[in-house]
Amino acid sequence: MTESTPPGNLPAVNRFGRLESSTQLVTLLVTVALLLTVALAGAAVPFTRATVTRTQNKVAYGQITGGKGKTRPANQGDIVGASNYVLTESESRAELQYDDGSVVRIGQNTIFSFEADSRTLSLKEGTFTFFVPRGQGAGTIKTASLTAAITGTTGKVSRDTIAVLAGEVTLIPSGRKVGAGEFARMMPDGRILIARFDPARAIDGALMAFNGPMPGFDELRLLPGRRFQLAMPDTSDFDALQRAQNLPATLQRTRILIPRPPNGNQPGPMPNPPDPVPPNPY
């Protein structure tokens, strides 16, 4: 026996069937997106630890236990954990390298730390430069006054400033974008200024050359604009015609005259031949 469906119900079933298919499609897409997100998140290597690849003068790292900080001198090859913080004194600098290839260069008089899972680079005092390679997962830059999301970015950071040398950062929570060649700064009045910096000065700073050139900083991408700053036009070129053709001396010399009207009304023909001594047209 074959089960048949009343013809009158067919549209309803089909309609229901389409709805069901749409729902399933949306569910499938969401699931795939979630899986991709999880997969990508899984691909992001947490900032669990970093290797000290170079130090200069007095650099220490440690952790706070029981409200007290306990530090030890940092040397090249030491492993700094996510629970640690890094301290530098005057004229002291350090470079850290993470497992995903990210690089952080810490300036003098700086207190720096990082969080593993959220891949957050935190600055309490001082300065650092950073390079987070593309495709290695998102991260966050946190300072006393600014927080920004990063993905594949190179930049400079101080307490109130994040300058982007390559890539882009997104300020949190405003969502404002700061692109390569721009910086975000918390102004004294609480306003966040986003503006361009002079690309010719992007390479300035001891950290940019500390332990070699800053990775991820494609100088040529940013610097072609170094002399390409907005300027006003030079209009002196347009004076030539006026000077050479149209000044009184030229007009006198070339004997170009407004012929006197013969009857006082209509202009007459050009004098031919010209007067031996041209009268002054003025």
Partner 1 sequence: MRFLPPFALLVLCALVGAQAGEMSSNQSAKEIEDIGVIEEMDANALGGKPSFRSNVQIRSEFSTNAKQTGNHGSGDLIFFPQIEVGFNTPLRHNFAFDIAAKVESGIYTQEQDRGFIGYSIISTLDWRPKINWPRIYVGAEPYRYDSFDTGERITQAVGLTAGTDWGYGFNKGYSLVFAGYSFTNYFSDPTSDSRTQNRAIVGLTHQFSSKMVGTVFYQFTYSDFENVDRRDYRHLLGANLTYQFTQKVFGSVSSTFADNDSSADFASFQAFSLSLGVTVQF
Enumerate residues 123-142 that contact partner 1 by CB under 8 A.
126-127, 129
State which of positions 206-225 bind partner 1 (CB under 8 A). Answer: 206-208, 220, 223-225
SS3 177: strand
220 vs 277, which CB is nearer to partner 1?
A: 220
Residue 213's contacts (CB-CB under 8 Å, 6 or more residues apart) are none
CA distance 163 to 204: 12
Which span (33-41, 46-54, 140-148, 238-246) binds partner 1, by CB under 8 A? 238-246
State which of positions 143-172 bind partner 1 (CB under 8 A). Answer: 156-158, 160-161, 163
CA distance 244 to 251: 10
Radius of gyration of the chain (CA): 36
24 vs 245, which CB is nearer to partner 1?
A: 245
Strands 139-142 and 127-132, by their bridges, are unpaired
230 binds partner 1 (CB under 8 A): yes
Tell me how many residues contact partner 1 (CB under 8 A).
Answer: 74
Residue 93's contacts (CB-CB under 8 Å, 6 or more residues apart) are 54, 55, 56, 57, 59, 105, 106, 107, 108, 206, 207, 210
Which span (30-38, 40-48, 75-83, 197-205) binds partner 1, by CB under 8 A? 197-205
Which span (56-64, 78-86, 113-121, 252-260) binds partner 1, by CB under 8 A? 252-260
Q: Shortest distance, CB of residue 188 to partner 1, whole angstroms?
A: 8
Q: Shortest distance, CB of residue 269 to partner 1, whole angstroms?
A: 11
CA distance 282 to 280: 5
Strands 147-150 and 182-186, by their bridges, are unpaired
State which of positions 38-57 bind partner 1 (CB under 8 A). Answer: none
Query: Please, are residues 118 and 137 in contact by the beta-carbon 8 Å criterion?
Result: no
Selected from 25, 30, 245, 274, the binder of partner 1 by CB under 8 A is: 245
Query: Please, are residues 66 and 58 in contact by the beta-carbon 8 Å criterion?
Result: no
Q: Shortest distance, CB of residue 70 to partner 1, whole angstroms?
A: 26
CA distance 164 to 196: 10
Which span (64-72, 79-87, 101-109, 131-139) binds partner 1, by CB under 8 A? 101-109
Quote the distance between the C-alpha of residue 140 and its chain's center: 15
238 binds partner 1 (CB under 8 A): yes
Q: Shortest distance, CB of residue 74 to partner 1, whole angstroms?
A: 17
